Amino acid sequence: MSKAKGQIAINPARCKGCGLCIWVCPQKSIKTVDEADRRGIRIACCAENAPCTGCGFCYMVCPDTAIAVYKESTTEEPAD
């Protein structure tokens, strides 16, 4: 059986902190940073130790294409 494991990368220069990715993430793996950047924006980031399945919802909803999704497939041995 194959189980997907994902990871996202958020481009801080493109993120405007709209929060759409946070709202749409089924795993609740995205949050905003604690402090605003030089533009005064609290950008999105990956929550620490949060599970990501690589579903791509955050990528699809991001209006500024600030998110890249990487998906890795791992094969699990069937249980006897």
pLDDT at 75: 63
Residue-wise pLDDT tens digits, 26-72: 999 999 999 999 999 999 999 888 889 999 999 999 999 999 999 88
pLDDT at 25: 95
pLDDT at 48: 82
DSSP 25-80: -TT--EEE-SS--TTS---EEEPTT-------HHHHH-TT--EEEEEEEEEPPPP-
